[in-house]
């Protein structure tokens, strides 16, 4: 691959960084560990490609969504209320809190994963191929949800959206970075990058799908 997932896993500190530096809100987080790193996760959350794999199959979706809230000191009742609010915000009824990952569809599980990521009100939401395992109709629903969340929260929420689907990038992104062999080879607005690419790799990439 081009290195997209490796890059975001390093940004999220799921992989060790071998060179370079990572800054979040002006603070270097490249080598943070322990409690300092856990503090960063209150600012940054991640949504993965396979939503069912990111939930514990032995626990309900509500348990998974509410874990960070309980860790933050909310009572059981407060957690239940907040989980219900988060599910509704992400287009699911509160009843989904009692369901297990295998009892819901892929799109519903991804909505629950987004609800879990939003529980602690992060400033950075990393979506790593968060729609690629879903069918086209559900992809559009998830993109619609992310756009609605972005509109609601404005500049308080930044979404780093990793995707190889050019049409989704064009629909969703404000700014596009193209990676090739681990390097950023082109960047700009969707119109600049997709409609008027400068880099040879970007041209080949776009010509292969358009």
Residues 12-68: tens digit of each pLDDT = 999 999 899 999 989 999 999 998 998 888 899 999 988 888 899 999 999 999 999
H/E stretch holding 50 reads none
Residue 131: closest CA among 148, 144, 118, 120: 144
154: pLDDT confidence band, cut at 50, 70 and 90? confident
In the chain, where the domains are located: 4-173, 175-210
In order of 129, 150, 193, 194, the CA distances from 46 in angstroms are 11, 15, 26, 26
The structure's pTM equals 0.88
- Right CATH number for 4-173 from 3.40.50.720, 3.30.2130.10, 1.10.150.20, 3.40.50.300? 3.40.50.300
In order of 91, 144, 186, 198, the CA distances from 149 in angstroms are 11, 9, 27, 32
The total of other beta-carbon atoms located within 10 Å of residue 76's CB is 10
Helix, strand or coil, per DSSP, at residue 128: strand
Beta strand residue intervals within the chain, DSSP E? 23-24, 27-28, 44-47, 124-128, 158-162, 176-180, 183-188
Tokens 């009572």 — which residue? 75
pLDDT tens for 65-89 read: 999 999 889 999 999 999 999 999 9
Q: Are 88 and 97 in contact (CB under 8 A)?
A: no
Helix, strand or coil, per DSSP, at residue 209: coil
pLDDT tens for 102-150 read: 999 999 999 999 999 999 899 999 999 988 888 888 888 899 899 898 8
Measured N-to-C along each axis, helices 76-89 and 106-118 cross at an angle, to the nearest 10 degrees, of: 120
């Amino acid at each position: 691959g081009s290195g997209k997932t490796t890059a975001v896993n390093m940004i999220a500190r799921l992989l060790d960084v071998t060179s370079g530096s990572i800054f979040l809100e002006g603070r270097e987080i490249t080598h943070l560990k322990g409690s300092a790193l856990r503090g960063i996760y209150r600012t940054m959350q991640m949504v993965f490609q396979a939503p069912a794999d990111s939930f514990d199959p032995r626990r309900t979706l509500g348990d998974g969504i509410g874990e960070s809230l309980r860790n933050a000191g909310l009572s059981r009742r407060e957690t239940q209320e907040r989980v219900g609010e988060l599910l509704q915000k992400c287009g699911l009824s509160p009843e989904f809190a009692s369901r297990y990952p295998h009892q819901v569809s892929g799109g519903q599980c991804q909505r629950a994963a987004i609800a879990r990521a939003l529980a602690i009100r992060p400033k950075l939401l990393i979506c790593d191929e968060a729609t690629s395992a879903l069918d086209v109709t559900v992809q559009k629903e998830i993109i619609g949800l992310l756009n609605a969340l972005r509109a609601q929260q404005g500049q308080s929420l930044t979404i780093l959206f990793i995707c190889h689907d050019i049409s989704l990038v064009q629909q969703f992104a404000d700014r596009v970075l193209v990676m090739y062999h681990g390097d950023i080879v082109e960047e700009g607005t969707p119109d600049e990058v997709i409609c008027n690419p400068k880099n040879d790799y970007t041209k080949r990439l776009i010509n292969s799908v358009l």
